[in-house]
Each structure stands twice: as structure tokens, then as C-alpha cells.
Amino acid sequence: MNKKKGLTYKDSGVDIFEEGEAIDQIWRLLPKTFQLNPKVKFLPAISHYGGIVDIGMPDKYLVVTVDGVGSKVLIAEMLEKYDTVGIDCIAMNVNDLICVGAEPLVFVDYFAIEQPNSHMAYQITQGLVKGAEQAKMVIIGGETATLPDIIRGVDGKGFDLAGTAIGIVDKNKLLLGDKIQPGDAIFGIASSGLHSNGYSLVRKVLLEKHAITDTVNGISLAEELLRPTAIYVQEVLELIDKVELHGLANITGGAFLKLARLLRQSKEEIGVLLNNLPEPPLIFKLIQSLGNISNKEMYQTLNMGIGFCIIAPPKAFTKIKEICTKYNKTVYQIGKITNKKQITIKLPSETLDYPTNKY
């Protein structure tokens, strides 16, 4: 009997490698704009976690990020519960911003709706405010658009939510990954669950045979699928002040392939070995089991319980753990930097290898 073919992210409509090719095409055009404004003097680290700009401040760079909640909004629509996705929107932006060492300052959101809905708007704003409180960031405004011909959701409740965060970083604290070297340790801070990535695959697997209100193997799908993305701002900013750090990575779309963004900044031939990852939380095991998804696909699509990575000398672990514990975050030493140019994930059952030229 032939074994059922396992699902992939591509099967659900998202091809991360094709997406990467599209991003490469975009970055071939954007440099044409870099000299258009003489007030902008510094744009390093193309395709990093944020756009870094020198606007003439003597000791600081401006950093800008943009991101959204993605198809997780469909879960909110199904449940008619909108007070958590605002936290996700803040998290997706500020967790990128801090990867280059920046402190979040201000945020603007973009809220597109299928039909005007004051109840929805109020709950979404509640979540935005909660996220901003965690990040200690000011929301200064945004844009709301009613687009019934474009936004289509569940029973007329469709919406999309995205935003832009702006922060500053001391020039001498800018973190790009260029100081990463073989022998550095990789530390992973636990995620709060699925966060806000991979939901096209997650919905295809979990909701094909189950209702969003079901409990499966003791797991409430509604609770897990709407669980807000963890915000790592406060502990990471304190780490930047008190610990020697060589690189920071937000584990979002593309999962551990996101580490490649840091590796590309180094002048050395370096790679990643993740050989001590913790056991994935139950929700990831349920998705893998129901979808018959390979380990290779899981670890390049979902965060598998690690939401943020820190690259630092091994001796930094004690201080990193102390600071993360202060902010109620669990941290693990999950691997190291090697001199082999690839991303390798060593599991008890198999070893997975990925290229470093993606994401």
C-alpha cells in the first residue's frame, strides 16, 4: 500500500522559495532609488529584518519595518473574536525591528475591511494597544479602508491588518550578523505557539476535517490558533545593553531558514547547526500527524516552539537566561555556528540540511 503523500506549504498555496525569488527580483530594482534623496546616506544590509537609514543624526540610525497578520485573520473571522490579532500585528513588526538592535518608537496600522464594523474595529484596536504596551511603543495613527471588491472574508467579516514600526538604534549597537563566527552559540527563546506564520498550511490541515471550535487530542483549536504572538522587545533590548551579542533572528515565515539573513552578512564561510532543539509543543505534533508532513517541511515552515534566536559567545548563556527569565521567557541553547555553509537541523530521527541562500 502506498503511503499517503505528506502535505507541504506549497500545497496550501504558499511557495516560500518562489517568494524568495520574487524578493530577489524586487531588490534588483530598489537600489535605483537609493541616491534619490541626498538626506539618506546609509542603507546597509539589503533584505535584512528592517530598513536602516542615516538621516543625519550623529549617533543613531532610523530603522523601519512593515508586516501584517496574514491569513490568521481568517481564524478571528471564524470565531468573531478580534481582540488578539492586533497584538500579532505589533509583534510581527517589533520582533523584526529589534533584530538589528533598534528600540521601537512609533507605529501606524493599515486596516482594510470588507464592510464597516465598529465592533471589529474596537476589538482590533484593543489588541493593538495591548501589543504597544508590551513593546512600549506609541501608536500615532493609521489608515482604514473599506474595500468590498478586494477584501473577502468569512460571512462578510473580511479584513486585513498590517502596520509599520519605526525605531532607532545607536550606531555602535547596530546588529547585522557581520560579527558572527564559528563557535558562537545559538540560543532560542520559546514561542507562544504558532505565532502568525504558516497559517495557510495550518488551516488546510486542521480545518479540513475539524471545526474551529473542536478540541482535538486535548487541544482547543480555537485557543491555539488565536494565541497571540510573543513580543520579545523588553528582554532583547536589555540583552543588547548587557550582553555581547553577534546576531538576532525573528523566526517567522521560512522558520529556521531566517537565520540565513544573518549568515549572509559575515565575510566568513559560516553555517548553522541546530542539534539541541527542545521537543515541539503539542500543536506542532498534531499538525504534523494530521497532515502527514515531513520533518523537513515542518522545520522550514513553522517555528516548532522557538520564536526568536540569539547568537552570542557560549559564555553568555548564564546572563541571557537570567534576563529572559526576568521577563517570563524560556530560553534554550539550541546549537552553534559552524564553518560549513549550510543550515543543519539534527533531530533524533534524522538530519535535515538547508541552503543558506534562501530567505
Q: Each residue of 44-84: pLDDT tens digit?
A: 555 578 889 988 888 999 999 999 999 999 999 999 999 99
pLDDT of residue 275: 97
pLDDT of residue 20: 61
CA 31 to CA 97: how far, in whole Å? 21
Largest pairwise CA distance in the chain: 68
Note the pLDDT tens digit of each residue in 196-251: 999 999 999 999 989 999 999 999 999 999 999 999 999 999 999 999 999 999 99
Record: fold of 37-173 = 60s Ribosomal Protein L30; Chain: A; (3.30.1330)
CA 345 to CA 352: how far, in whole Å? 5
**185 within 8 A of 245, measured Cβ to Cβ:** no
Low-confidence spans in the chain with pLDDT less than 70? 1-5, 7, 9-24, 27, 42-47, 358-359
User: In sequence order, which residues have a C-beta less than 8 Å from that of residue 32 and are 6 or more positions away?
Assistant: none
User: In sequence order, which residues have a C-beta less than 8 Å from that of residue 154 and are 6 or more positions away?
Assistant: 74, 77, 78
pLDDT of residue 40: 76
pLDDT of residue 14: 60
pLDDT of residue 117: 94
185-354, superfamily in CATH?
PurM-like C-terminal domain (3.90.650.10)
pTM summary value: 0.92
CA angle 120, 160, 285 (to 5 degrees): 95
DSSP letters for 258-287: GGHHHHTT-SS--EEEE--PPPPPHHHHHH
Question: Residue 2 corresponds to which cell in the numbers above?
Answer: 502506498
Torsion sign, CA atoms 127, 107, 302, 335:
negative
> What's the N-to-C CA distance of the chain in angstroms?
37
**316 within 8 A of 243, measured Cβ to Cβ:** yes
Residues of the chain with CATH 3.90.650.10: 185-354
Strand 343-346 and strand 271-274: the pairing is: parallel
Instruction: Kindly tell me the burial class for residue 102, based on how many C-beta atoms sit within 10 Å of its own C-beta (0-12, 13-18, 19 or more).
Output: buried
Question: Residue 7 corresponds to which cell in the numbers above?
Answer: 502535505
pLDDT of residue 55: 84
User: In sequence order, which residues have a C-beta less than 8 Å from that of residue 282 and are 6 or more positions away?
Assistant: 217, 218, 219
**184 within 8 A of 316, measured Cβ to Cβ:** no
pLDDT of residue 1: 33
Residues of the chain with CATH 3.30.1330.10: 37-173
